[in-house]
Structure 1
Amino acid sequence: MNRKTLHVVVASTNPVKVKAALGGFEKMFADRTVDVVPLSVPSGVADQPMTDAETLEGALNRVQQARYIYPEADFWVGIEGGVEVMGNELAAFAWIVVRSATGILGKARSGTFFLPPAVAGLVAQGMELGHANDKVFSRHNSKQQGGAIGSLTDQVLDRRQLYEPAVVLALVPFKNQALYAAPAGYALPACPEKE
């Protein structure tokens, strides 16, 4: 059996992001060997992205930077955690972007959860979520471990487990390339106007 190795560059050295990317690729490409290369690159956005759009931009930027620095890979993965105000609460999530050497782009967002006021208040004052989580839960470097979701669930769900399904979702276009290659002239229908 030919197990062609997939060379995947993860645009981060954070072990949580690296393990989530590896796990997602191993699930979606079980017939392949996956070789992951962690690479520290700038996101081009704030250390703590504060909107959905800024978080997605950070993941896209990470992929672009990793591809520029390490062009000989099969795939590049950008994972960016972010928050956004929803009503009077602060929601936390991550965007995952995967690009292939053939130019296909896959994107997905992780599950979303709401931060408790003690953590949200610190983030609103300018503190990065990982540091706010460390302060509230008396942890050290939790963003490279269970993260805020790990602290809030008593490790029933950790940050890697939150991100890995989104990596799988971002890989859907690569497993279904013919379906995602839109025919010429195809356009999504316009959304109806709100009254």
Structure 2
Amino acid sequence: MAFPKRKNIQQSVRQQLVIVGSKNPVKIECTELGFHQALPYSFLVEGLNVSSGVTAQPVGDEETLKGATNRAVNSKAVFPEADFWVGIEGGVDHFNGEMVAFAWIVVLDKYNNMGKAKTASFILPKAISELVDGGMELGDADDKVFQRENSKEESGAVGILTKGAIDRKEYYQQAVVLALIPFLHEDLY
């Protein structure tokens, strides 16, 4: 699918405004780091509380991607003056009798072009997956099992389970960069 004609991002010299569809500091910071890593421009990244339009704990790729897409689209509707809008949605799924965690990232630009990427996935411990299967959001299940508070705005499950080797910000940052591929190679997308 080819994108409609648009101005090449590399022609712009002013600071680009990026709106993240969340006030979660981890999601804002990973977006800022990812944009600076992938694109050699100046970016101002701000968070905005918008609805994902999906359940508090999305299950499966389809619902999780829909949540990320909705966050980007809803951010654009609320603040249309920006240059980019980013939706980040964490999800879980069942695979071979175990629960895996992952996230989808969606990036929109002012020309309605879209980039998408999914993080790596990892297996959740049974104690956490049972709580999530019982209706608890992953962040709350992490807090309960690991006796923490608001871990989803800090290292997240990935940070806790890797003992800090990979924190949530780094985990999402790589997928933000991958979601920017269509904007780095406009001639191919």
**Shorter-chain TM-score range:** over 0.9
Q: Which runs of 5+ in 1 are unaligned?
A: 181-195
1:20 lines up with 2:30 in the alignment: yes
Give, in angstroms, the shift of residue 4 of structure 1: 2.1
Give the whole-Å Cα distance in 1 for the aligned partners of 2:39 and 2:173: 14
Higher RCO, 1 vs 2 (CA within 8 Å, ≥6 residues apart): 2
TM-score of the superposition, structure 2-length normalised? 0.92
The Cα offsets for residues 152-184 of structure 1, whole Å up to 9 and x where unpaired, read as: 01111111111000000000000100111xxxx
The aligned amino acid for 1:141 is N
Give the whole-Å Cα distance in 1 for the aligned partners of 2:46 and 2:65: 22
RMSD of aligned alpha carbons: 0.9
TM-score of the superposition, structure 1-length normalised? 0.90
Give, in angstroms, the shift of residue 64 of structure 1: 1.0
Give, in angstroms, the shift of residue 3 of structure 1: 4.4
The aligned amino acid for 2:154 is Q
Give the whole-Å Cα distance in 2 for the aligned partners of 1:48 and 1:144: 15
The Cα offsets for residues 6-53 of structure 1, whole Å up to 9 and x where unpaired, read as: 1100000000000010011001112x1110111000100000001111
**Dislocated runs of 4+, deviation >6 Å:** none
The aligned amino acid for 2:180 is L
1:65 lines up with 2:56 in the alignment: no
| Matched residue, 1:85 | 94
Give, in angstroms, the shift of residue 122 of structure 1: 0.4
* Structure (1 or 2) with the larger CA radius of gyration: 1
The aligned amino acid for 1:54 is E
Q: Name which of 2, 17, 22 aligns with 1:7.
A: 17
Q: Name which of 124, 128, 137 aligns with 2:137.
A: 128
Give the whole-Å Cα distance in 1 for the aligned partners of 2:148 and 2:60: 25
